């Protein structure tokens, strides 16, 4: 016989008095007032794409799916049949879906996921900000039709709600009342609701125990550069700091650490990034024709570099799971070498992966030169 704890189920939670349901009389009145003042512009694109997170720990992924689709960013991969559309299963770079199911994501990981799927992400940690900073950011997003859009990371307990860390998009602002409209992606738990911005900021100042940073918010815009299509990166099993330290130590024995050739040799020799590098075509998701054309262009430009023959030689000497084209691209990313002549598609791909890595670990992904 099941214990009471194991058989308990839930159907939604009542909103605390400090939150105002959008569908309530007061919530609808606030919506009309904010709409008249022009601070609900982002609501319509977000509400068109609003959905419920598909797993208990997918609040970050669910929020990002809503925002990416609201910004009309093309994932370049099939969702169902011929249709290209973001859902959580397509957010498979930076961190594995199994890890997200188990523990959720951090703000940095969510920013990395945005970067590797065609968006620009700007992180703000509440510990480095003030309530007025959040108010200004919400004001900007609420008046924008095509971005930036805003995802809030906060502790539910700070809003007198059940639960702990959570992500949800912010869809509007009522200036006079000092309210922000939270489109809660856990719709099985709470409906869309208004909260005081000062209270929301306070809920962001708690520490995320998984990485020791405070919570905060992420501004997301359509990307300045294309999303990476050949390689995407996850955190290696050893962790980024340990993995890069091992690579760096090996690179120092092989030549100038800023050289792409040095990093080709280091990656081939140590193979510490094999579990972190995701190569196009490894997933079972069909790639759109125009994105496949870009993949082909990047690979062709990699084969045309002077680095390619060196990478092929290293792979023949030390077998690795990466192809020589992948090794050339990865070395350009890790070294950030700008002295090698490369084609525009290859350079754009390298820059896109660099932005992804910078979002994931801005304090540890750039190896120092000597």
> Looking at the annotation, which residues are catalytic?
59, 166, 184
**What pairing do the DSSP bridges indicate for beta strands 20-21 and 179-182?**
unpaired
Find, among 90, 155, 158, the residue nearest to 118 by Cα.
90
Burial of 23 (0-12, 13-18, 19+ CB in 10 A): exposed
Q: How far is residue 171 from each of residues 113, 141, 185, measured CA to CA in Å?
A: 21, 8, 12
d(CA 165, CA 105) in angstroms, rounded, equals 10
């Amino acid at each position: 016989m099941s214990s009471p704890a194991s058989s308990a189920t839930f159907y939604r939670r009542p909103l605390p008095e400090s939150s105002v349901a959008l569908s309530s009389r007061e919530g609808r009145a606030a919506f009309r007032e904010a709409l008249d003042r022009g601070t609900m512009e982002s609501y319509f694109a977000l509400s068109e794409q609003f959905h419920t997170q598909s797993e208990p720990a997918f609040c970050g992924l669910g929020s990002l799916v809503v925002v990416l689709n609201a910004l009309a960013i093309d994932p370049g991969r099939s969702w169902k049949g011929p249709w290209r559309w973001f859902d959580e299963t397509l957010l498979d770079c930076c961190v594995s879906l199994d890890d997200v199911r188990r523990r959720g994501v951090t703000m940095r990981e969510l920013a990395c996921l945005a970067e590797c799927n065609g968006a620009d992400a700007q992180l703000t940690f509440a510990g480095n900000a003030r309530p007025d900073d959040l108010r200004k950011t919400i004001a900007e997003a609420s008046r924008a039709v095509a971005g930036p859009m805003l995802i809030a990371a906060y502790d539910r307990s700070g809003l007198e709600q059940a639960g702990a860390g959570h992500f949800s998009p912010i869809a509007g602002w009522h200036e006079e009342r000092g309210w922000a409209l939270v489109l809660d992606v856990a719709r099985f738990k709470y409906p869309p609701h208004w909260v005081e911005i000062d209270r929301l900021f306070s809920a962001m100042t708690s520490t995320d125990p998984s990485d020791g940073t405070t919570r905060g918010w992420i501004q997301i815009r359509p990307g300045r550069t294309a999303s990476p299509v050949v390689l995407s990166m996850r955190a290696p099993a050893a962790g980024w700091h340990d993995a890069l330290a091992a690579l760096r130590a090996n690179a120092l024995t092989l030549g100038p650490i800023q050289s792409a050739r040095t990093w080709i040799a280091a990656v081939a020799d140590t193979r510490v990034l094999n579990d972190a590098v995701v190569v196009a075509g490894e997933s079972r998701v069909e790639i759109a024709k125009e994105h496949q054309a870009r993949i082909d262009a990047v690979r062709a430009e990699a084969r045309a570099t002077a680095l390619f023959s060196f990478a092929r030689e290293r792979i023949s000497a030390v077998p690795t799971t990466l192809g020589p084209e992948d090794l050339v691209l990865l070395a350009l990313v890790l070294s950030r070498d700008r002295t090698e002549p490369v084609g525009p598609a290859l350079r754009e791909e390298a820059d896109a992966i660099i932005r992804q890595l910078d979002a994931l670990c801005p304090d540890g992904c750039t190896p120092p030169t000597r």
